Amino acid sequence: MSGANGTNGVSKPLPTHADAVVIGGGLVGCSILYHLAQKGWTGSVLLERSELTSGSTWHAAANIHGLHDITNISRIQHYTMNLYRTLEAETGQGCGIFQPGSLYLAQTEAREHQLRIQAAKARRYSMKFHEVSRDEAERLHPLVNFDGIRCIMYEPDGGNVDPSGVTHAYAAGARAMGAEIHRFTPVTGTEAQPDGSWLVRTERGDIRTPWVINAAGLWAREVGRMAGLELPLIPTEHQYLVTETIPEIAAAGRRLPSVADRDGEYYLRQEGLGILVGAYECEMKFWAEDATPADFGHELFPDDLERLEAGLGGAMIRLPALQRAGIKRVINGPMIWSPDASALFGPVPELSGYFCCNGIIPGFSQSGGLGKLAAEWIVEGEPTLDMFGWDLARYGHWVGKSFVRSRVRDVYTHRFKIHFPTEERSAGRPVRTRPAYAMQAEMGAVFGLNFGWEHPLWFAAHGEPREETYGFTRQNWFAPVGREVQMLRERAGIIDISNFAKYRVAGPGAEEWLNALFANRMPRAVGRSCLTPLIGQRGGIAGDFTVTRLAQDEFMVIGSGMAERFHARFFQALPLPAGTTFESTTERMCGFNVAGPRSRDLLQRLTNANLSNEAFPFMASARITVAGVDCTALRVSFTGDLGWEVHCAEADQVALYAALLEAGRDLGAGPVGSRALMSLRVEKGYGSWGRDYSPEYWPQECGLDRLVKSNKDFLNKAAWERIAANPPRERMTMLEIDATDADAWGGEPVFLPDGTPAGQVSSGAYGFHVGKSLAIAYLKPELARAGDTVHVAILGRDTPARVLDHPPFDPDGHRLRM
């Protein structure tokens, strides 16, 4: 047996210092080490408690796929699939790569839409994924029965790899660049040091490092706890079986493609001369719910074929030769899940120099991309792709064990269920509600989840179904949302915006600190607000905020609710001046946006404050009393219409809501949900963080450069200066689409009529007031100009659209200023 450092019995001592310490020598930890070394951090060290691959990695089926519903995940997977061959050539370590292709089958209309949307994205990013006829599919895989299949896609690079080979190839590549791997070296503690570094403790000695990387897979929770971190993860059992030789496969004389028949909740591919079938069973089983045993090694759980029956049954119909095959072995091993089955990725906002890459389910499809982005984030301060959907900061302290358990049960048992753009899964909810929740439920609210908060998406009228239907086409919420948009645009609407993130900055240094943080100059006059971007480490848009000067030394900052923990990383980057405080008031404050042409009349009924345009102009703010409730009122509205945001203490929310609804009744005003807000802001061309604004986009690409003040300092100004003079790579643009039964949502590729990729949609909605299907898209300025016709891939099919030179609703902003 070779020794602790993998050098044939010689136990090399641990270094005392390292650029970074990766904890865990599974597939993911080894990829991170490799990519750190590639970025020049060759003094990085990986510590593995046992042999490499000793967690989930060694027993995986190791299938690889390129396409995913989320574009950036497709890009990560595409990178990973291509990397394995390079890695093999670079290191000489075989990766056991089989790429006979993968066939993706659609049994339902929705699955067909999903596959066509993915195929359109593949065209945009030059990935190989295209439709094949049944004849062609039968030639590719003669053993599959394609009856009942309405659409077949083929990914020529699909297949599988050897789990151990790939992990050792990353390890060999990292070692060759100078990084060290020490096996049989369990980490026993991670201690933050006063100088900001970490001490990583092992029985063989301690290592001091600026970066700890938790890649401990099945033991991520235990390693996290060493730093006081509770990660929302739970392991489950997962099974697949491998059959004896199937004569038809032996006779085929070539490797047959794998088959993704996801409507059947199983996966299937060739293994040796037999077949490997795995399924995500309805009768799922958690394992080690509270803690993964320290002594768990290369062990598997007893088989439970009964649980696999449903998946197997479907597979046997699809591949009848399976019915006659004997079972050679069953693998039942543990894998560890986050509540949405996506990675818990990124630096922990509350711990300096601590990075997580945990809860990775399709590790073999994603290892390379996650390793690359982790290295970018650690070495360069930010990944090159927007990773918010995988950023561990998407979860907050509101995530408790029962939420994690319910969500993991749901995502495991519906592993291949389609994630529709408007999907709101009910498992584990409600988690956090505001006092007005019961009133809203009473009024017919259909709720969604935003950073743990229940918030109304739309309101069903009396007698209308309260359950959302799901699909890529317009669904049952379409008409109610249309009613809400029209009500607001014609009269007024009341939108609960309590889930916006709110912060209070107070003290003598408040203005100075905010000016040092944000790119715009803070309002000089009390009672004024400004909009400001927050600049990321590559010069892109890390956030967009409204800052209001409430008093000489007091400011209210409003930002994206779902990004509160994400933005904490930026707020913490700048020390507060003495005597100045920063606090989140999100939990103790609620708010409503009262908007629409009659909103002034509505609000004026409840306050003595003068709301006239002269006394309370656009972008002004004041502390006023509304229906006896102390409020901070801001004359801003994300609807693009005349409106105010009124913020109050959480305890006053019900009183304020009741008064607003009552005052609006005879004006024909009422409650409006967030889905109408989406339509309203898209009509007006307003971007939203996480969709149209992200660190991937530069200010000059989305028109926010006018808010970046170069004559003062701000966070990441040097990054902005590096890119400020660059012309836009793509420009944020409005499109009007000739869509009839489905609208753009986000991610749809845009092509020129000759098929040249021109960009992609960042948000889309039906504009109910202007009566048009709309999208905000990023388009290459040299390819698409106002008035041009382009094609947007709606449901994956090219749909004509026109490039607009201004937003269709109130382009001159009269309504905002009326």
Ligand X SMILES: Cc1cc2nc3c(=O)[nH]c(=O)nc-3n(C[C@H](O)[C@H](O)[C@H](O)COP(=O)(O)OP(=O)(O)OC[C@H]3O[C@@H](n4cnc5c(N)ncnc54)[C@H](O)[C@@H]3O)c2cc1C
Using CB under 6 A, which of the segments 312-320, 354-362, 656-664, 739-747 binds ligand X?
354-362
Using CB under 6 A, which of the segments 19-27, 168-176, 598-606, 653-661 binds ligand X?
19-27
Please enumerate, as own/partner, the contacts of 306-312 that have beta carbons within 8 Å and a separation of 24 or more: 307/239, 307/281, 307/283, 308/239, 308/241, 308/277, 308/279, 308/281, 310/265, 310/279, 310/281, 310/282, 311/264, 311/265, 311/266, 311/277, 311/278, 311/279, 311/280, 311/281, 312/241, 312/266, 312/277, 312/279
Shortest Cβ 105–ligand X spacing (Å): 18
Query: What is the rounded distance in angstroms from the CA atom of residue 355 to the CA atom of residue 122?
Result: 31
Tell me which of 38, 50, 384, 604 binds ligand X, using CB under 6 A: 50
Cβ neighbours, 10 Å, residue 713: 11
| Alpha helix positions (H), 508-557 | 510-517
Say whether residue 25 binds ligand X (CB under 6 A).
Answer: yes
Q: Which of 575, 475, 570 is nearest to 519 (CA)?
A: 570
3-state secondary structure 155-183: ECCCEECCHHHHHHHHHHHHHHCCCEEEC
Cα distances (angstroms) measured from residue 583 to each of 7, 550, 623, 788: 52, 15, 19, 48
User: Total binding residues for ligand X by CB under 6 A?
Assistant: 40
Shortest Cβ 23–ligand X spacing (Å): 5
Say whether residue 346 binds ligand X (CB under 6 A).
Answer: no
Cα distances (angstroms) measured from residue 683 to each of 236, 492, 543, 641: 45, 17, 21, 11
**CB closer to ligand X out of 333 and 764:** 333
Tell me which of 14, 19, 35, 49 binds ligand X, using CB under 6 A: 49
| Burial per residue of 153-184, b for 16 or more beta-carbon CB atoms within 10 angstroms, e otherwise | bbbebbbbbbbbbbbbbbbbbbbebebbbbbb
| Alpha helix positions (H), 360-477 | 363-375, 401-413, 437-442
Report 223-262 residues binding ligand X (CB under 6 A): 223, 238, 240
Query: What is the rounded distance in angstroms from the CA atom of residue 425 to the CA atom of residue 428?
Result: 9
Tell me which of 365, 639, 679, 799 binds ligand X, using CB under 6 A: 365
Shortest Cβ 231–ligand X spacing (Å): 12
Say whether residue 6 binds ligand X (CB under 6 A).
Answer: no
Query: What is the rounded distance in angstroms from the CA atom of residue 794 to the CA atom of residue 773?
Result: 11
**CB closer to ligand X out of 330 and 649:** 330
Say whether residue 704 binds ligand X (CB under 6 A).
Answer: no
Report 54-73 residues binding ligand X (CB under 6 A): 54-57, 59-63
The residue assigned the tokens 């090159």 is 384
Shortest Cβ 815–ligand X spacing (Å): 51
Report 162-191 residues binding ligand X (CB under 6 A): 186-187
Tell me which of 27, 115, 530, 602 binds ligand X, using CB under 6 A: 27
Q: What are the residues whose beta carbons fall under 8 Å from the beta carbon of 344, sequence distance 6 or more?
A: 220, 231, 232, 233, 338, 356, 357, 358, 359, 390, 392, 395
**CB closer to ligand X out of 297 and 755:** 297
Query: What is the rounded distance in angstroms from the CA atom of residue 318 to the CA atom of residue 311?
Result: 11
Say whether residue 158 binds ligand X (CB under 6 A).
Answer: no
Say whether residue 369 binds ligand X (CB under 6 A).
Answer: no
Shortest Cβ 7–ligand X spacing (Å): 18
Shortest Cβ 238–ligand X spacing (Å): 4
In 96-163, DSSP assigns E strands to 102-106, 130-131, 151-155, 159-160
Bridge partners of 20, per DSSP, are: none
Tell me which of 24, 224, 456, 796 binds ligand X, using CB under 6 A: 24
- Is the backbone peptide bond immediately before 781 cis, with ω within 30 degrees of 0? no
Using CB under 6 A, which of the segments 361-369, 372-380, 626-634, 646-654 binds ligand X?
361-369
Shortest Cβ 223–ligand X spacing (Å): 5
Shortest Cβ 226–ligand X spacing (Å): 8
**CB closer to ligand X out of 271 and 410:** 271
DSSP state of 727: P
In 451-576, DSSP assigns E strands to 453-459, 493-496, 501-506, 529-535, 541-551, 554-559
Shortest Cβ 24–ligand X spacing (Å): 3
Phi, psi of 260 (to 5 degrees): -110, 95
Shortest Cβ 49–ligand X spacing (Å): 4
Tell me which of 252, 331, 443, 609 binds ligand X, using CB under 6 A: 331
Using CB under 6 A, which of the segments 327-335, 443-451, 577-585, 681-689 binds ligand X?
327-335
Query: What is the rounded distance in angstroms from the CA atom of residue 72 to the CA atom of residue 103?
Result: 22
Chain-centre distance for alpha carbon 1 = 43
**CB closer to ligand X out of 53 and 773:** 53
**CB closer to ligand X out of 171 and 790:** 171
Cα distances (angstroms) measured from residue 204 to each of 21, 161, 182, 188: 14, 34, 10, 10
Shortest Cβ 22–ligand X spacing (Å): 9
Using CB under 6 A, which of the segments 17-25, 687-695, 737-745, 775-783 binds ligand X?
17-25
Shortest Cβ 307–ligand X spacing (Å): 13
Using CB under 6 A, which of the segments 47-55, 245-253, 696-704, 767-775 binds ligand X?
47-55
Say whether residue 47 binds ligand X (CB under 6 A).
Answer: yes
Say whether residue 76 binds ligand X (CB under 6 A).
Answer: no
Using CB under 6 A, which of the segments 330-338, 464-472, 477-485, 687-695 binds ligand X?
330-338
Chain-centre distance for alpha carbon 183 = 33
Query: What is the rounded distance in angstroms from the CA atom of residue 249 to the CA atom of residue 141?
Result: 10
Question: Coil, strand or helix: which one is 112?
Answer: helix
Tell me which of 14, 19, 22, 26 binds ligand X, using CB under 6 A: 26
Using CB under 6 A, which of the segments 333-341, 346-354, 438-446, 624-632 binds ligand X?
333-341
**CB closer to ligand X out of 331 and 531:** 331
Report 208-227 residues binding ligand X (CB under 6 A): 215-219, 223
Tell me which of 119, 256, 361, 715 binds ligand X, using CB under 6 A: 361
Shortest Cβ 333–ligand X spacing (Å): 4
Q: Which of 377, 284, 321 is nearest to 36 (CA)?
A: 377
Cα distances (angstroms) measured from residue 654 to each of 38, 383, 496: 56, 42, 11
Shortest Cβ 362–ligand X spacing (Å): 4
The answer to whether 258 and 267 are in contact (CB under 8 A) is yes
**CB closer to ligand X out of 229 and 485:** 229
Say whether residue 308 binds ligand X (CB under 6 A).
Answer: no
Say whether residue 498 binds ligand X (CB under 6 A).
Answer: no
Shortest Cβ 365–ligand X spacing (Å): 5
Shortest Cβ 325–ligand X spacing (Å): 19
Q: What are the residues whose beta carbons fall under 8 Å from the beta carbon of 459, sequence distance 6 or more?
A: 440, 443, 444, 445, 446, 480, 484, 670, 671, 672, 673
Bridge partners of 760, per DSSP, are: 749, 778
Using CB under 6 A, which of the segments 358-366, 393-401, 693-701, 782-790 binds ligand X?
358-366
Query: What is the rounded distance in angstroms from the CA atom of residue 482 to the CA atom of residue 767?
Result: 8
Using CB under 6 A, which of the segments 52-60, 93-101, 583-591, 770-778 binds ligand X?
52-60
Tell me which of 6, 159, 349, 362 binds ligand X, using CB under 6 A: 362
**CB closer to ligand X out of 117 and 218:** 218
Q: Which of 211, 604, 197 is nearest to 374 (CA)?
A: 211
- Site residues (vs ligand X, CB under 6 A): 23-29, 47-50, 54-57, 59-63, 186-187, 215-219, 223, 238, 240, 331, 333-335, 360-365
